[in-house]
Chain A
């Protein structure tokens, strides 16, 4: 296997950054998140996982879609063309690679595809980093993942004593590896990569997608939802949550820009319709929707869990509503009749 020594990491990133925006896990104002690499960036490759997922790279919190103006009968629309540079996400973990597959399902697998997402995704190369020391809330193995590697990344980095084993998995990955090799940044090694330690948390989701079909009216949701704050911490931190709102940056009554920004099923006004009716009027309906979506609707539609076991929602829910508990408790509750 080829290897990149730790001492060559900065050179490797600098080389790649010459031709692409290279997002790396970094400490930014005290929080570990992905940031475009520059020599000034404080790398943090140890966070398992980074507090903020790389979701925002492919699905920005806010983006402009088109400009409009409407004066009387004169109506114009003009698309806001996004500049999308070649992009590399370096140091992404298995959980977040899997999350991108979920996002691909949502935005690309059916017509019409989401043009803005498709453009960014097509420009993106994933360089996954093996995750050998799980964080306190990780449970990706329970959701069927392998923390040490992911089959769908372009390049997989393995952990070696003093560097990274480098393995290309796609043609795009080959290109990156070739560029690093060309500059003499890679060496051959026979060192076996570090094995991943077991995930901290473990649950067994087997069969709960089927069981949830029978649980829409189950009293379980009442108790679970009673302490929820209906905030957006869980969904906004989640790498697979993808709901958005279309709204305006209004310049005046006639002109403005249509923007898309993250939205969340946990917010009260998310489902409010014109006329004021809210089909999900209470916490129960909203909390149920979140878990039903991840553990039942998504598997029904796309054949995979919409939870990768990254543990971010578990770590940061203000009231400790934990999806691991939900998976366990849904497995345990009795169904009537």
Chain B
């Protein structure tokens, strides 16, 4: 994409400098994949490999969860982020999975991501934070913003043209559609979806909010959950995953993208967002590190009487 030509050059130069100077021990970015329409995650530790870095409208992967690999390591890693990805980094910082000393965040302008057929991803049509919400450095003239905003930087015009954020107001459409169904219909719908789950945990492992050191689904011996991929165990997994990220999910859509069984995971995440906003007021997770997530804070006027 021609608007991003200079950004690509700048990314490679910056990565090379950061590695050569020893400022960082590694850099997370993307590289071109086996087809022109694939741009895949890349981690480099060697300045000589900086030229492999590439960024375009296919760089859909959110790399932030990969930082969890280094949570016990003092060295700094650089990470390139789009708007949605930056919220993943905030998630990790706020959850104290990494410290600011461990990460150097480089914000990029987002042109809006497309699938291999060239259609804008739903998450991008619904995007409210196309600009990084935090960054130590930016490239391509993008502006850091903690407010819902229009795309900025060298791809602002391109992003506007493809419709980034144009359906932000319809983010809850899928939730509304399901809410229109009867309880029995909803049950049948989710049973069919959960039956498909193969318990590959791709949704969990890609997620910056799923950052428990010991996931309950990996600690089978405690007997909380069965490893069997039965309908009920799958539903238990799906509900537990959703509840564990409630109020902390940064809305990056990666869980749904990576699910090999095409389970509409975002519908559940969005429903929880909606409920949390209804109970606790407007809240966008992973935007402002200083605002504690609603389910993680104590208030004397909590709407739940039990407290």
The chain A residues found within 8 Å of chain B, CB to CB, are 28-31, 51-52, 61-62, 136, 201, 223, 226-227, 229-233, 236-237, 245, 247, 249-250, 259, 261-264, 267-269, 283, 316, 318-320, 322, 324-325
Contacts and interface: CB of A to CB of B under 8 A. Distances in A.
B61 interface: yes
A259 to B, nearest CB: 6
Contact of A51 (B195, B205, B223, B260): B260
B205 A245 contact: no
Contacts of A316: 260
14 contacts: A31-B196, A51-B261, A231-B202, A231-B258, A232-B201, A237-B198, A237-B260, A247-B228, A249-B226, A250-B223, A268-B218, A269-B218, A283-B69, A322-B33
A232 B228 contact: no
A233 to B, nearest CB: 5
A268 to B, nearest CB: 7
A209 to B, nearest CB: 22
B199 interface: yes
A264 B195 CA distance: 20
B40 A320 contact: yes
Contacts of B230: 62
Interface string B182-208: 000000000011011011111011100
Contacts of A247: 220, 226-228
B200 A233 contact: yes
B43 A223 contact: yes
Contacts of A52: 198, 261
A62 B43 contact: no
Given A62-B229, A226-B43, A237-B260, A318 B61 contact: yes
Contact of A325 (B34, B218, B257): B34
B198 to A, nearest CB: 5
Contacts of B260: 51, 233, 236-237, 316
Interface in B189-248: 192-193, 195-196, 198-202, 204-206, 218, 220, 223, 226-230
B175 interface: no
B92 to A, nearest CB: 15
Contacts of B66: 226-227
B93 interface: no
B264 to A, nearest CB: 9
A232 B227 CA distance: 13
Which 6 A-B residue pairs are closest in the complex by CB-CB distance? A320-B40, A232-B200, A318-B258, A226-B43, A231-B202, A227-B41
B270 to A, nearest CB: 19
Contact of A318 (B43, B226, B257): B257
Contacts of A62: 228-230
B121 interface: no
A227 B201 contact: no
A226 B77 CA distance: 13
Nearest to A315: B260
Given A30-B262, A226-B43, A324 B61 contact: no
Most B C-beta atoms less than 10 A away, residue of A52, A249, A250, A319? A319
A269 B215 CA distance: 11
A232 B43 CA distance: 21
B38 interface: yes
Interface in B9-26: 26
Contacts of A229: 65, 202, 205-206, 258
B168 interface: no
A248 to B, nearest CB: 8
B268 interface: no
Given A29-B193, A30-B262, A320-B41, A230 B220 contact: no
A319 B254 CA distance: 11
Contacts of B218: 267-269
Contacts of A263: 227
Given A223-B44, A320-B34, 20 more contacts: A31-B196, A31-B262, A51-B260, A61-B228, A62-B230, A226-B69, A232-B198, A232-B199, A233-B202, A233-B260, A236-B198, A236-B200, A247-B227, A249-B226, A262-B199, A267-B218, A319-B40, A320-B33, A320-B38, A320-B40
A334 to B, nearest CB: 15
Given A29-B192, A31-B261, A31-B262, A231 B40 contact: no
Contacts of A269: 218, 220
B40 A261 contact: no
B42 interface: yes
B230 to A, nearest CB: 6
A201 B33 CA distance: 13
B205 A227 contact: no
Contact of B34 (A29, A226, A322): A322
A62 B262 CA distance: 21
Nearest to A313: B260
Given A28-B196, A232-B198, A318 B227 contact: no
Nearest to B189: A29
Contacts of A231: 200-202, 204-206, 258
A130 B235 CA distance: 37
